[in-house]
Amino acid sequence: MKKIVTMLLSLLLLIGIVGCTTTENSSSNSNSGSDDAKQEDGTKVLKLNNGSEPTSFDPPIGFDSVSWNALNNLMEGLTRLDDEDQPQPAAAKEWEKSEDGKTYTFHLREDAKWSNGEAVTAEDFEYAWKRLANPDTASPAAFLSYFIEGAEAFNTGEGSEEDVMVKAVDETTFEVTLESPVAFFPNLISNPAFFPVHKATVEENPEWHTEADTYVSNGPFKLTKWEHDSEFEFSKNENYWDADNVKLDQVNWAMVDDTNTEYQMYKTGELHTSDVPADLSEELFSDGKAQVEDQSGTYFYRFNLEMEPFQNQNIRKAFAMAVDQQKIVEFVTKNEEKPAYGFVAYGFEDAAGGDFREVGGDLVTTDADQAKELLEKGMEEEGYDQLPAVTLTYNTSDDHKKIAETLQQMYKEVLGVDVELANQEWNVFSDEQKQLNLQFSRSSFLADYGDPINFLESFQTDHSMNRTGWSNEEYDSLITKAKEETDEAKRFEYMHEAEALLFEEMPIFPIHFYNQVYLQNEDVTGIVRHPVGYMELKWADIK
């Protein structure tokens, strides 16, 4: 009897194994999203995945990517980023800047309309921007309004609403006075936080943004259906001023949180785009199916200058130079990221048309010999016979773990230093890092708007993103100067100087720049993915 059971069990196991292998074969043979994307009746319906329920469709509240992608296509600010990520006139048809660069006067389009047919007025903008800065709104994006004179005081409870310097001069003229000349202001206000809201609707119903039938928008699409936690649906907004150039009839957004499921739905044609599942990325890259777009953000590590041995600049430099960024992106992350040898990501053009990163060049290099020398020098300076124990901490995730283990190995090989690894759940980690309790920790930065200053201002003394204990007066003054400067060439010079100084002292070192990797149905064209993290469907089309 026992024999029969054993036989039966092994047979089942065998069937299981065979079953799995055939499954794999069939998956690579089956079609890959090349189904006819258009609907049978000729209407153009784009099928996308939002991942999860949007945090909020109220512009100042929905400050994250699950809200932005949709929000950016429902609403429209004064400017909209084009396919080269440059701000173009949108709700505003043109604008002037005062001589000192501090006052912007925007002229709205007369034909800019809300989805309910009413005109988009300067008053809507004034109301929306004051609402962004209002402490009662509790907007996580409120700090973006601090560029506007009086907004910071209002937000922190020291000033009043009247002193926020945004003004509707008449129906179509909107005037803003800034704290300092902000050259990238037209770029900044393409951010969803600066989108207008329909004043009458908001005043009448504070919950207007929670359901599709009460939602009033002014962008290329309008919200026609929203089944919470399940799906939502856009239709073309025929009241949109540039409706002639909007080609899609409808956009369906699913909320699928699992990348593997998303990928399967993409393969069966239930979705038009998909992320790349980690286990399949190599295969999809080599097939040329996975596409890559830049994202403004940097994966980096922070040293804690208040903990030994990282108070020493040479030891910090040694730890930075021992790392081979190229190897990490090539063999560890395998996601086609660009290795980072500076902090500011690619994609920021200066006055002469050069890219900030390329002009700035490599500020840290991989150099094993020099790393060893610097470590010895640093230990001598500090009088160490033996390097104090180093613990590298990351927030729990497989991807971060892989990189952390690679670093551990590199330090062992290059410096002969045994680094211990520790991981913590994200919230715990984030708290500890802010309180400077971590010696050496994984970090990331994602840009809020398209300007290098957004990256660099993080390391001013006591900035909430500093988290290293590093403080440098010269750096602080360079950032301030860059913020005050009206001349573009000079402004970039200051920022280059600041970045070079940051790397001279090396409180951080970069690993790679972020990117956006995706699969897309071949019939779908014209989706623009901005490096600052939101998606543009205005020009999207289905063949």
Segment lying near other proteins (by CB under 8 A), choices 8-16, 217-225, 349-357, 535-543: 8-16
E-only strand ranges, 181-278: 221-227, 231-236, 250-254, 273-274
- Report the residue number, 8 or 389, with the smaller CB distance to other proteins: 8
58 forms part of the interface with other proteins (CB under 8 A): yes
122 forms part of the interface with other proteins (CB under 8 A): no
139 forms part of the interface with other proteins (CB under 8 A): yes
Q: Determine which residue in the list 160, 230, 245, 391 makes contact with other proteins, applying CB under 8 A.
A: 230
Any idea which residue has 């994609």 for tokens?
Answer: 347
d(CA 88, CA 317): 42
Exposure b/e, 176-205, CB count within 10 A at least 16 = b: bbbbbbbbbbbbbbbbbbbbbbbbebbeee
Enter the tokens of residue 209.
Answer: 């943004």
Q: Write the burial class of residue 430 (CB in 10 Å: 0-12 exposed, 13-18 middle, 19+ buried).
A: middle
Residues from 299 through 358 that contact other proteins (CB under 8 A): none
- Report the residue number, 428 or 489, with the smaller CB distance to other proteins: 428
255 forms part of the interface with other proteins (CB under 8 A): yes
Any idea which residue has 């996601």 for tokens?
Answer: 335
56 forms part of the interface with other proteins (CB under 8 A): yes
Residues from 452 through 481 that contact other proteins (CB under 8 A): 458, 464-465
How far CA 131 is from CA of 139, 165, 193, 194, in Å, comes to 9, 13, 10, 10
- Report the residue number, 530 or 538, with the smaller CB distance to other proteins: 530
Residues from 159 through 198 that contact other proteins (CB under 8 A): none
Total of chain residues touching other proteins, rule CB under 8 A: 65
Contact 378, 312 (CB under 8 A): yes
Rg from Cα positions in the chain:
26
426 forms part of the interface with other proteins (CB under 8 A): yes
Residues 6+ apart with CB under 8 A from 14: none
Segment lying near other proteins (by CB under 8 A), choices 73-81, 135-143, 277-285, 369-377: 135-143
Q: What stretch of H or E contains 14?
A: helix 2-29
How far CA 424 is from CA of 46, 390, 392, 395, 433, in Å, comes to 39, 16, 11, 5, 11
204 forms part of the interface with other proteins (CB under 8 A): no
Helices (H), 251-367: 259-267, 281-286, 313-321, 325-327, 356-360
257 forms part of the interface with other proteins (CB under 8 A): yes
- Report the residue number, 135 or 354, with the smaller CB distance to other proteins: 135
Enter the tokens of residue 279.
Answer: 């286990």
Segment lying near other proteins (by CB under 8 A), choices 138-146, 174-182, 274-282, 522-530: 138-146
How far CA 514 is from CA of 184, 342, 447, in Å, comes to 22, 13, 11
Closest CA to 141 of 240, 84, 71, 81: 71
Q: Determine which residue in the list 152, 275, 350, 485 makes contact with other proteins, applying CB under 8 A.
A: 152
146 forms part of the interface with other proteins (CB under 8 A): yes
Q: Determine which residue in the list 53, 82, 123, 336 makes contact with other proteins, applying CB under 8 A.
A: 53
Name the amino acid, one letter, at 99. Answer: E
203 forms part of the interface with other proteins (CB under 8 A): no
Tell me the three state secondary structure of residue 445. Answer: strand
- Report the residue number, 207 or 385, with the smaller CB distance to other proteins: 207
17 forms part of the interface with other proteins (CB under 8 A): no
Shortest Cβ 24–other proteins spacing (Å)? 9
Cis bond before residue 277 (omega within 30° of 0): no
Shortest Cβ 322–other proteins spacing (Å)? 26
Closest CA to 519 of 257, 288, 174: 288
Contact 187, 77 (CB under 8 A): no
Segment lying near other proteins (by CB under 8 A), choices 181-189, 229-237, 324-332, 524-532: 229-237
Segment lying near other proteins (by CB under 8 A), choices 24-32, 285-293, 340-348, 490-498: 24-32
8 forms part of the interface with other proteins (CB under 8 A): yes
Enter the tokens of residue 126.
Answer: 């004034």
- Report the residue number, 86 or 260, with the smaller CB distance to other proteins: 260
- Report the residue number, 112 or 256, with the smaller CB distance to other proteins: 256
Which residues form the interface with other proteins (CB under 8 A)?
1, 4-5, 8-9, 12, 19-20, 23, 26-27, 30, 52-53, 55-56, 58, 61, 63-64, 135-136, 138-140, 142-143, 146, 152, 155-156, 207, 209-210, 227-231, 254-258, 260-261, 264-265, 267-268, 270, 425-428, 430-432, 444-446, 448, 458, 464-465
